[in-house]
Structure formats: structure tokens, C-alpha cells
Structure 1
């Protein structure tokens, strides 16, 4: 606890934020901090979605996407690398593209459920996933 209170104190005392603040909030699963940052005009980028997915922070991922944060195939790779099937499903069901790197990440991480989901939903793999 205490992250939001620290953030509010910093903001009230002139500390400015950038994408790295949103990245840290998403990475740590601090949804209330993420909301506060967004409501106070702090910018974010696609790395925030990837960080939330990698950490298995589905609520942060949903908030980011519902409030216009962009994502790309790195978010699916991050979810697979983190072994978070729910985040991976959310990304896929909401149109996030993926590529071979997602299968490779799931295979290297030993996450059979993510690997099966990716394969069964048409994600291609290459020789790096098989080695």
C-alpha cells in the first residue's frame, strides 16, 4: 500500500510524470495509480499494455485499452512470456495482433496452456519456438 498516497504527494509538490510512471503502475498492477496518472494527464504508450500483460494485471490492461492506450504484438508476447492465459485471451478477443514471438515466449516459459491457446487460435510458430 501507500503507492497512491506517495504519487499524490509527489504530484501536489510539483513532480511531473511521463510514460515511465504509467509503465511502472501497469507493471506493478497499481490500478488506482494508473487511473490517477491518466486523470492528471500523464502520457502512456504501448509499453504500458505490455507491462500489464506480462505481470498478469488484467484490470490494468482493460483500463489502459478502454481509455485509448495502443498495443501491438509485443503485448501478446508479454502475456505469453508471463504465462497469463486470461490476459492473452483478452488481448486476442479484443483484436490485438500476435506473431511467432508469442508462441516462442510461451514455449520458452514452459506454459502449455498459453501455447495451446495460441496454436488453437491460429498463431503461427517458427523454428525458434520448437528449439
Structure 2
């Protein structure tokens, strides 16, 4: 089932005519998008266990045509599978639209946050317009979107009055997303902590470290030097050392 060779499935059916096809095999075919195999099984095999995880697998792996086939020919999956949330995880807007229009699937807060965290802006906009009572953007936290470097998502959420914590800038800095750091600095009041420079230094993002030093007042701790050396980011460590030497010189001359 995993490779989708319908000829092999047909051969097995001839060789073992009374054999049964378990639900996990059907789910594997759906997961891998093997529509031809599923169609053949439905049309020619009487001992297939439908109604397991095959619909979930099709949605979770972006196989819309497989999902349509299963919806039309097999029993619908339980409501608690939250299929539209799975489509939201991948930003599969066409799948989300189909699930809502054809099956009436609804959205949970987790589905919204999956799309937000992955920077899937078109999907989030569709959610907001389609589920206005469920998607309250002022309740959406943008920390993960910032940490993942999704600048356009962060900008849009900021315009929608979403919220964040200091971790937004800390983690954006730690992951080297300087443009996100700059935007948060200019447009938000949460700021950051010493973690911002510590994380950026430890991960080797010298330009981020320099920018934070020049534009923020939090500074760093001994962790910045220790982690930059431990992770072999010697250019960062050298720059930090120069700053420390300069500070010591200024202090001794005061």
C-alpha cells in the first residue's frame, strides 16, 4: 500500500481472494495519496476495513482528491478528528475550504494558532472571514510567528491588535530574524530581556547581537560569551570581548 502499486494489490487479491485489508493499510494508502489503489479496493474488494484513519491521513498530508473520494464513498469520520485543524497546520487553504463547505467542519483555537505559528497568512485571513465568532485576533499570541521569522504575519497580527510577550523578540533574535526584531522594537512595547542577546550570540547571529547592543538597553549576561565559544561562534565571541575590553577601559578611566 505504501508504494501505491495497484498491480501488486491486484496480484495479492488473486493470490489470497479471502484476504482482508486492514484499516491501517487503507490509512497508509491515503497518507501517500494513492487514489488509484483506494478506488480499486472500493470497486473490487469486499473485505476492506474502511472508516479508520484514512480520511485524517489524507487531510493531514494534503491529498484533497483522496479526501473527496473517501468523503463520497465511505462513512464520514468522527467529528472529534478536527480535520480542518490538520489542514490549517499546513496552510492548505483549498482543503480547508472544501472541508468547511462540503462537510461543515468547524475550527478550533488550536487550528488558528497552527496557521499563525507557521506564518500561513492567507489561511488565517480566510479563517477570520469564515469564522468571525471563533477567530478573535486580539486573543492571538504572536510569539511563535515572530520566533519563526514570519514578518508579514507579525505585521498583520499587530494591525489586528494581537498580543505578544517579551519572548517574541527574545526568540526572534535567537533565531536570527533581525527584521522581525526591528519591527517589534519599533511597533511594540513589550521589549525583550537579556535572553535576546544571549540567544543570538549563542547561535552565532553577530548582526543581531550588534543591532541589539546599539539599539536596546538590556545587554547580555555571561551566557552570551560562554555559549558563543561553546558553539564555536568565535567571531561573535571576539566581538563581545572587544566590547567588554572597551567597557573596562572606559570604567577605569572614569
What are structure 1's unaligned runs of at least 5 residues?
none
What are structure 2's unaligned runs of at least 5 residues?
1-89, 227-254
Distance 2:208 2:165 in 1: 18
Summarize the alignment of residues 63-74 of structure 1 with structure 2, pairs less than 5 Å apart.
63-74=156-167
2:108 aligned with 1:14, yes or no? Answer: no
Equivalent residue for 1:104?
198
Equivalent residue for 2:117?
27
- Contact kept? 1:53, 1:82, Cα under 8 Å: no
**Residues 11, 104 of structure 1: alpha-carbon distance in 2 compared, 3 angstrom cutoff:** farther
2:144 aligned with 1:55, yes or no? Answer: no
Moved over 6 A (4+): none
Aligned residues: 128
Distance 2:183 2:151 in 1: 8
Summarize the alignment of residues 86-105 of structure 1 with structure 2, pairs less than 5 Å apart.
86-95=179-188, 96-105=190-199
Q: Bigger shift: 3-12 or 67-76?
A: 3-12
Report how far residue 51 of structure 1 moved. 1.7
Distance 2:100 2:199 in 1: 37
- Contact kept? 2:91, 2:123, Cα under 8 Å: no
SS of 1:123's equivalent in the other structure is: coil
Equivalent residue for 1:4?
93
Which of the two has higher C-alpha Rg?
A: 2
Distance 2:91 2:164 in 1: 29
Cα displacement string for residues 40-98 of structure 1 (whole angstroms, at most 9, x for unaligned residues): 2324532xx12211221111001111101111101001211221110010000113311
Q: TM-score, length-normalised on structure 1?
A: 0.85
